[in-house]
Amino acid sequence: GNSVTQMEGPVTLSEEAFLTINCTYTATGYPSLFWYVQYPGEGLQLLLKATKADDKGSNKGFEATYRKETTSFHLEKGSVQVSDSAVYFCALSGSGGSYIPTFGRGTSLIVHP
Amino acid sequence: EAGVTQFPSHSVIEKGQTVTLRCDPISGHDNLYWYRRVMGKEIKFLLHFVKESKQDESGMPNNRFLAERTGGTYSTLKVQPAELEDSGVYFCASSRETSKNTEAFFGQGTRLTVV
C-alpha cells in the first residue's frame, strides 16, 4: 500500500538557519506529492505541491522537488523564521487508483529567536 | 468563504461513554474525509463521503465508530462506547472534486481524550 515516511522531530533551529525536512514515499504509479503545515491551534493547510517528477513546488520561501528516482520530496527553506514553527506533514495522492490523501507522521519544527 | 469547521474543539470523556463529533465542510464540497492522528503518529484515514454516500470506509477501526452525512452537508462521527485507545485528534477535510491534484481543506480538529 501507499505510505509516507518523514524524519522524526522535533527539529529545533535558530532563526535564519537552513531547514530540511526529509520525506520519502512508497506508491505505485505517479502520485502527486504535498506538504501541509499545521500552525498552533489551527487546521492543516496546504503549503505546496508537485504533480509530476522533477516538478518543484514552492510557497512562502519553502521548496520541495519531486524526485522519482529516490522517491523523495524533501522540504527546504533557506532561512527560517520564528513564525515557521509548526508541524509539517508530507502527503501523497493518486496512487493505485486512490485519490484519498495519505499522510506521514508529521515533523514538528521549533524555531528560536 | 467559511472554512471547514469542527465541533467541539476538545472533548474529555470517560471510557464507555459516547461522543459525537461534528464537521461542517466548505459549502459546495461533495467530498468529505475523516482522519485521526494519535499522538506523534501519522494522520490515518478513516473514511470518505461523496455527498451522502460512504465511498470508502476502509479506515474505520471497528464497529464502535459510526459516521453519517445526512443530506450530503455536515457529517457526524460517533464513538460508542469510547475506549482509551480512541484518544487522539480527529480531523475532517473536504474537497470540491476527487483527483490526484486536489487540495484537501482541513478543519482544526477535535482533540478527544478518553480517560
CB contact under 8 A, A100 and B109: no
pLDDT digits (tens, 9 = 90+) for B21-60: 999 999 999 999 999 999 878 899 999 999 999 999 999 9
Is residue B7 pLDDT above 80, yes or no?
A: yes
**Percent with pLDDT over 90 in chain A:** 80
CB contact under 8 A, A105 and B42: yes
Per-residue confidence (pLDDT) for residue B1, from 0 to 100: 63
- Cβ–Cβ contact A53 with B under 8 A: no
Chain B residue numbers with beta carbons less than 8 Å from the beta carbon of A94 are: 99-101
Q: What is the maximal distance between C-alpha atoms in chain A?
A: 45
| Mutant choice from B43, B45, B90, B91 vs A, greatest count of A C-beta within 10 A | B43
Query: What span, in angstroms and rounded, lies between the C-alpha atoms of A58 and A36?
Result: 12
**Strands B10-13 and B110-114, how do they pair?**
parallel
**Strands A75-77 and A86-93, how do they pair?**
unpaired
Per-residue confidence (pLDDT) for residue A95, from 0 to 100: 77
Is residue A98 pLDDT above 90, yes or no?
A: no
Across A30-39, A53-62, A91-100, B4-13, least confident range: A91-100
Is residue A66 pLDDT above 80, yes or no?
A: yes
Q: Yes or no: say if A33 and A91 are a contact pair by the CB < 8 Å rule.
A: yes
The alpha carbon of residue B98 is apart from the nearest alpha carbon of chain A, in Å, by: 6
CB contact under 8 A, A46 and B103: yes
**Percent with pLDDT over 90 in chain B:** 84
Chain A residue numbers with beta carbons less than 8 Å from the beta carbon of B100 are: 31-32, 51, 93-94, 99
Please indicate whether residue A39 or residue B103 has the higher confidence score (pLDDT): A39
Of A4, A31, A41, which has the smallest distance from its Cβ to B100's Cβ?
A31
